[in-house]
Amino acid sequence: MCLTVRVVYELPLRQTQGLMRSIAALMGVEITVPDFSTLSRRSKGLALPPVRRRTACWRPVHLVVDSTGLKVFGEGEWLENKHKIKVKRKRWRKLHLGLDLVSGEIVCSDLTTDDVGDPIALSDLLGQIDGPVGKFIADGAYDGAATRDLLTTRLGEIVEVIIPPPKTAVASSQSALNPTVRDRHIAKIETKGGRMAWQKSTGYNQRSRVKTQMGRWKTVIGPKLKARNLDNQKTEAKIGVRVLNRMTELGHPEFSRVA
């Protein structure tokens, strides 16, 4: 709970400690609030309950995945601000998110170093989904044989995969007899009015919703990570996912029949 309050209000650990102790004192509750060093130590590798889907687990997920960069606060920024030293390279982490288009929930997430490619992180994302996937949407960074083989192995042959081929893509040698999904996308782009028409007909333009979720993250949670090491940063990212899902659930309308 203390770490969740810290993420929501973007507080340092010392301020989180003081806030929680003040709340306990105002409520008259005799409870020991962990100090800042204990919060930092216990957040490393903290095991959180799995993300609970609001909708039925048997309903196929319409999964759209993407990644964005989160800044890491470190000594480089302090040196640049205080001593006007130009930092050669800023440090980043990559946040990978998987969004269910039907419910608007984040159903899978991962935080990696900036040198981990999107297709490499996809395996861990798919391992977090406990139900069937009916549709998979991603940008051109996921195009490739490795991604297609992974999706076939994990999700089966019936999943609808929507990944735009690059502009220089050509059909495979067997496209006339046994076309792949990628071959069909290439042919449709060439014969059905170009890429914009293909995006509209396949539903690829719904990928903008995960971009919107990235914007919500950087507005509500923040564009940078406060934790200093990768394990604590992973915990901070997992808590951020739970916070956004909770806010989505609170703002989701509920319908009930009254007559």
**What percent of the chain clears pLDDT 90, i.e. is strictly above it?**
56
* Tokens describing residue 67: 């990644």
CA 164 → CA 96, 131, 176, 203, distances in Å? Answer: 19, 25, 20, 11
Residue 66: pLDDT above 90?
A: yes
**Domain residue ranges of the chain, discontinuous segments joined by +:** 2-43, 61-160+209-250
Confidence bin at 174 (pLDDT 50/70/90): confident
Confidence bin at 55 (pLDDT 50/70/90): low
Q: Rounded to an integer, what is the distance from CA 6 to the centroid of its chain?
A: 20
4 contact partners, CB below 8 Å, separation of at least 6: 239, 242, 243
DSSP 174-235: TTTTS--HHHHHHHHHHHTTSHHHHHHHHTGGGGHHHHHHHHHIIIII-SEE--SSHHHHHH
* Res 76: pLDDT: 58
Q: What is the pLDDT of residues 128-160, one digit of tens each?
A: 988 889 999 999 999 988 898 999 899 888 889
* Res 240: pLDDT: 95
* Tokens describing residue 159: 């999943």
The strand ranges marked E within the chain are 61-72, 92-100, 106-113, 133-137, 160-162, 224-225
Cβ atoms of residues 195 and 217 within 8 Å: no
**CATH level 3 topology of 61-160+209-250:** Nucleotidyltransferase; domain 5 (3.30.420)
* Tokens describing residue 23: 């709340």
Q: What is the mean pLDDT of residues 159-181?
A: 87
CA 117 → CA 100, 106, 136, 141, distances in Å? Answer: 22, 20, 18, 9
Q: What's the rounded Cα separation, in Å, for the pair 219 and 96?
A: 17
Neighbours of 132 (CB within 10 A): 14
Q: Which of 146, 161, 156, 106 is nearest to 129 (CA)?
A: 106
Confidence bin at 101 (pLDDT 50/70/90): very high
Q: Rounded to an integer, what is the distance from CA 218 to the centroid of its chain?
A: 12
CA 13 → CA 24, 33, 37, distances in Å? Answer: 17, 12, 8
**What percent of the chain clears pLDDT 70, i.e. is strictly above it?**
90
| 3-state secondary structure (DSSP) of residue 23 | helix
Cβ atoms of residues 229 and 252 within 8 Å: no
Q: What is the pLDDT of residues 206-258, one digit of tens each?
A: 999 999 999 999 999 999 998 888 999 999 999 999 999 999 888 877 778 88
